[in-house]
Amino acid sequence: MKIELASKYGFCYGVKRAIKIAEEHKNSFTYGPLIHNKDEIARLKDNFNIGLVEELEDIENDNAVVIRTHGIPKDELAQLKKQENKIIDATCPYVTTPQNIVSKMSKEGYSIVIFGDKSHPEIKGVVSYAQNPKDAFVVLEENELKELPLKSKVAVVSQTTKKPEDFLKIVNELILTKREVRVFNTICNATFENQDAAAELAQRADIMIIIGGKHSSNTKMLHSIAQNYCPDSYLIENEQELQADWFKNKNLCGISAGASTPDWIVQNVIDKIQKFS
């Protein structure tokens, strides 16, 4: 059986940057998981003593705090500053962009529409930058827009990991109904480059392995795309989840990985698959 990696996969710029920042600040804490990959978080803990704090009230005044790649709500950042914590900001610049846009456009009197998952930490942070949270609305589908009390002026941003074609559906619906629509493409290029590469490979493979955190939005999207073309597509976090019977009578195994998946996990998966073939 042949094993082929997607032409684009794995760590994006923002994740590489966050890992480097964390490694440069030993004996610190991240507020929330730095990235959506528990194995990489464990590596940072074991090798650099980077702890993990889930609740704001558990952070003491003298703690050095690394802000996760997804960012945090504006009021929580203000609280950390008030406590005089040492703040090490590892927020991905592609996430900082929609935060700044939401802040600016809401001050100019626009309703804010954010295409994304309201439970995702990135979106929770972006929403908090609206001058009035009641003017910021998070949607996943265009039919949700009809129920919203939007002003005649609307600014639109997207979660960085969403599909461009789905973002366009939201934009098109707003253009048909609102007097003025300002559209900001805040989708990360690395996201859809990985998606396009996974789609291309899945069309040729008879089994696809997608590697990444089960809570990672971009990894779940890669899995969904792969399944569209290759029904035998599996989402795993590491090599321990692989099952030998998946690979029986398969000729080409395609592999892709989410933006929070380090190369060492990808290699471990490849090594184990090779033992099955």
List active site positions.
122
What is the spatial distance between Cα 214 and Cα 218, in angstroms, rounded to a whole number? Answer: 10
Tokens of 163: 């599909």
Q: What angle do CA 145, 146, 148 make, to 5 degrees?
A: 65
Contact yes or no for 259/222 (Cβ under 8 A): no
Which residue in 112, 199, 193, 105 sits closest to 158, CA to CA? 112
Tokens of 38: 């528990």
Distances from the Cα of 193 to the Cα of 12, 132, 176, 188, 240, angstroms = 10, 35, 30, 9, 28
Which residue in 227, 15, 134, 156 sits closest to 235, CA to CA? 227
Contact yes or no for 105/132 (Cβ under 8 A): no
Exposed, middle or buried: residue 165 (CB in 10 Å: 0-12, 13-18, 19+)?
exposed
Which residue in 36, 46, 86 sits closest to 66, CA to CA? 86
